[in-house]
């Protein structure tokens, strides 16, 4: 099985230096956990001007890397699709969103469309089942949605996936990216205005309403108007709590 991890050069949110995104390091680990055969291989694919930007990936467990040379700011999709068509991998792993470029998270979807691959989003765990792969999709509140898709496929990784492998400095120093020319695809300038970030308040609770109502909601305790049991015996209190939790479904039904 051949696994390709798409590596974008992310900008560190504080220092602004290029770093490997944590999610992509997690994708490398997920990919490695699927390899059980000596013939299996995992390689990285990056489209950008400088492979050293993603060299950290070697330290996180990557064996080989291919870098398609394109100018800074070019659209990486044509180069990535062409390289993947060439490599014919069984599984392509990608992050959710890049950091520092456009950050739309569209690249994996465009690549999947170009190659005609099925795409599964937000994988927190992967399992191999012959020619299929079982994807545990991470949903809010820790719920996982398990489904199977046929290989070859493209899977994007969620931050709930296992943490990256420990970083090995020597492996990072040893790694050499295999460079090849990419496909130049300048992006048409778009009507975007950029300005320094100004933090905006999150809305807490229901939101909306007048300023006075929002202030009230944030500072005053809303009366729930619920039941109050004053000085019940411990057993009465326990019964009331357990019954209530059962009624709202927080606690499973009584065993019988």
Ligand X SMILES: Nc1ncnc2c1ncn2[C@@H]1O[C@H](COP(=O)(O)O)[C@@H](O)[C@H]1O
Which chain residues interact with ligand X by CB under 6 A?
6-8, 24, 45-48, 76, 80, 94-95, 97-98, 101-108
Nearer to ligand X, 48 or 152 (CB): 48
- Report in angstroms the alpha-carbon separations of 87 from 48, 65, 153, 179, 223: 18, 12, 13, 14, 63
Nearer to ligand X, 102 or 214 (CB): 102
Question: Which partner from the list ligand X, other proteins, none does 76 bind, CB cut-off 5 to 8 Å by kind?
Answer: ligand X
Residues 66-105, mask of contacts with other proteins (x by CB under 8 A): -------------------------------x-xx-xxxx
Q: How far is the CB of 176 from other proteins (least distance, A)?
A: 29
Query: Do 76 and 84 contact (CB within 8 A), yes or no?
Result: no
42 DSSP β-pair partners: 3
Q: Which of 249, 256, 228 is nearest to 240 (CA)?
A: 228
Judged by CB under 8 A, the chain residues 185 through 244 that form the site for other proteins are 190-198, 200, 202-212, 218-219, 221-224, 226-232, 234-235, 237-242, 244
Q: How far is the CB of 153 from ligand X (least distance, A)?
A: 15
Question: Which partner from the list other proteins, ligand X, none does 17 bind, CB cut-off 5 to 8 Å by kind?
Answer: none
Q: How far is the CB of 96 from ligand X (least distance, A)?
A: 6
Tokens representing 222 are: 């809303």
Collapsed DSSP state (helix, strand, coil) of residue 197: coil
* Residue 16 CB-half CA count within 13 A: 0
Q: Left (φ > 0), alpha (ψ -120 to 50) or beta: where does 112 sit? A: alpha
Nearer to other proteins, 170 or 204 (CB): 204
Question: Which partner from the list other proteins, ligand X, none does 6 bind, CB cut-off 5 to 8 Å by kind?
Answer: ligand X
Pairing of strands 18-20, 2-6: unpaired
- Residue 132 parent element (H or E): strand 132-138
> Position of tokens 């009366």?
223
Q: How far is the CB of 110 from other proteins (least distance, A)?
A: 6
Under rule CB under 8 A, residue 128 binds other proteins: no
Q: How far is the CB of 6 from ligand X (least distance, A)?
A: 4
Collapsed DSSP state (helix, strand, coil) of residue 60: coil
Q: How far is the CB of 233 from other proteins (least distance, A)?
A: 8
Nearer to other proteins, 37 or 191 (CB): 191
Nearer to other proteins, 140 or 181 (CB): 140
* Rounded Cα distance, 213 and 208, in Å: 8
Q: Which of 232, 23, 226 is nearest to 108 (CA)?
A: 23
């Amino acid at each position: 099985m051949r696994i390709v991890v798409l590596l974008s050069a992310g900008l560190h949110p504080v220092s602004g230096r290029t770093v490997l995104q944590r999610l992509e390091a997690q994708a490398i680990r997920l990919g490695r956990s699927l390899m059980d055969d000596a013939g299996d291989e995992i390689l990285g694919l990056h489209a950008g001007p400088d492979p050293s930007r993603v060299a950290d990936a070697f330290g996180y467990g990557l064996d080989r890397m291919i870098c398609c040379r394109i100018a800074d700011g070019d659209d990486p999709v044509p180069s990535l699709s062409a390289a993947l068509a060439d490599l014919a991998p069984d599984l392509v792993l990608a992050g959710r969103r890049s950091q520092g470029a456009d950050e739309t998270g569209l690249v994996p979807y465009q690549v999947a469309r170009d190659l005609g691959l099925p795409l599964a989003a937000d994988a927190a765990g992967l399992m191999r089942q012959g020619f299929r792969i079982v994807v545990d999709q991470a949903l809010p509140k820790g719920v996982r949605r398990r489904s199977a898709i046929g290989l070859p496929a493209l899977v994007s990784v969620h931050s709930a996936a296992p943490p990256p492998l420990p970083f090995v400095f020597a492996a990072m120093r040893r790694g050499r990216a295999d460079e090849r020319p990419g496909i130049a695809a300048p992006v048409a300038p778009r009507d975007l205005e950029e300005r320094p970030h100004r933090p905006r308040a999150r809305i807490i609770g229901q939101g909306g309403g007048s300023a006075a109502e929002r202030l009230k909601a944030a500072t005053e305790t809303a009366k729930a108007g619920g039941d109050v049991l004053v000085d019940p015996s411990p057993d009465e209190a326990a019964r009331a709590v357990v019954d209530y939790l059962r009624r709202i479904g927080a606690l499973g039904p009584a065993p019988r």
